[in-house]
Amino acid sequence: MWVVAKIRKRELDFFKRDLIDKMGKEVRFYSPKIEYYKYFGKRTIRLERLILENYIFCYHDNFKKSFFVNKLRFSKGLEYFLNGFSENQNQIVRFINCCKDFENEKGYLKQSFFRNKISKNARFISGPFSNMMFEIIEKQKHKLKIAIDGIVMTVSDKTNYIYRPI
């Protein structure tokens, strides 16, 4: 059974190690992430970001027992487990499968995942417009017509700019 855990972002490795120590190697983790590049003068730095920020999916057969989940409440790096995970297993599995369908060979989500989810507004994560918000005027087959501060432009899928919905 899958559970959704809210973790302290900087303590993700502590959380994973602690859960493996308490539950064994059978526990599985999934957290969808993206890979992007930032340019600093002549240097390029590869970065990765978890799209769910500080939430992670954890799977183990023992999560079916609620007392077992309660025993793990004080794990290192854990803030809390989201309630209602047992009633929402279908939605959790569907979301994880959807994410895995859009992963590249390295395990990072492709931009096409976000393209399908964006409806009106988004924010650039990489490129010269990073951290700028934009409004989608029109979706075309392989490009978006957007407006940033009243300036209309077109962003092609071939550019490696990464953006996400707001």
The whole-number pLDDT of residue 110 equals 82
Q: How far apart are CA 9 and CA 57, in angstroms?
A: 14
What per-residue confidence (pLDDT) applies to 117?
A: 65
pLDDT of residue 116: 64
What pLDDT score was predicted for residue 114? 73
Which pLDDT score, from 0 to 100, does residue 6 have? 92
Low-confidence ranges of the chain (pLDDT < 50): none
* Total-model pTM: 0.73
What does the pLDDT read at residue 29? 93
d(CA 8, CA 14): 10
Report phi then psi at 46, rounded to 5: -85, 130
pLDDT of residue 118: 65
pLDDT of 37: 80
To the nearest 10°, report the CA torsion of 113, 131, 146, 95: 20
